[in-house]
Amino acid sequence: MNWKDLIVMKINYVTGNKGKVKLAQMILANYPIEIIQRDIDIPEIQSLDCHEVAFHSAKDAADRLGEPVLKNDSGLVIEALDGFPGALAKYVENNLRAEGFLKLMKDVENRTCYWIEVLAYCKPGCDPVLFTSKTYGTISLDARPLRGYPYDEFFIPKGDTRTFSEMTEEEQLSCFDTKAYHELAKYLEGLEE
């Protein structure tokens, strides 16, 4: 049976980032889930921990909308910097850019890191359910600015020698850990039974 013959669950994805919505739609295309972007301003707590940020912002969004929501928080976790920048990745990216960030890493030998993505599904009045993916890699010694975001210029996914900036969108997607999306889909299918 084709999933399109089934009842489709609609999920309010609360984000202003169209790229996040497109990614979720691509990964979840084989499930009976329709992702609907809801661009509303939800305050985020300040924490290095993406789990905490996703938890609180999903709970707030679900209670404000009065409907189930999906929220996402992601960040870059660098072992040698005790997890920094973590959930503050966007702030650091916007202010330091790739060159400034690499200056911060200049004398750091351990360049191991991972990109964490936490999906939080929440119904109004309930605590969110969290799903986590981690894409492991290293920080390059130099910026390779071809396309994408500043972190793409120096994040080298495990098993490759190129930065995300040097890859096509399809190549980048094949490197990402998408486990959280599949776990979310299975969880949602269980709710429908």
Mean pLDDT of the chain: 90
Total structural domains in the chain? Answer: 1
Q: pLDDT digits over 59-99, tens only?
A: 999 999 999 999 999 999 999 999 999 999 888 888 888 88
pLDDT of residue 189: 83
Given the residues 73, 107, 127, 160, the one annotated as active site: 73
Q: pLDDT digits over 12-41, tens only?
A: 999 988 888 988 998 898 888 999 999 998
Exposure pattern of 166-183 as b/e (b: 16+ CB <10 Å)?
A: bbeeeebeebbbbebbeb
Q: What percent of the chain has pLDDT over 70?
A: 95
Let me know if 73 is a catalytic residue: yes
- 1 pLDDT higher than 50: no
The CATH number linked to 114 is: 3.90.950.10
Alpha carbon separation from 21 to 34, 37, 38, 134, 190 (Å, rounded): 11, 7, 10, 18, 22
Q: pLDDT digits over 130-153, tens only?
A: 999 999 999 999 998 877 888 899
Domain containing 128 equals: 3-192
Q: How far is it, in rounded angstroms, from Cα 105 to Cα 168?
A: 26
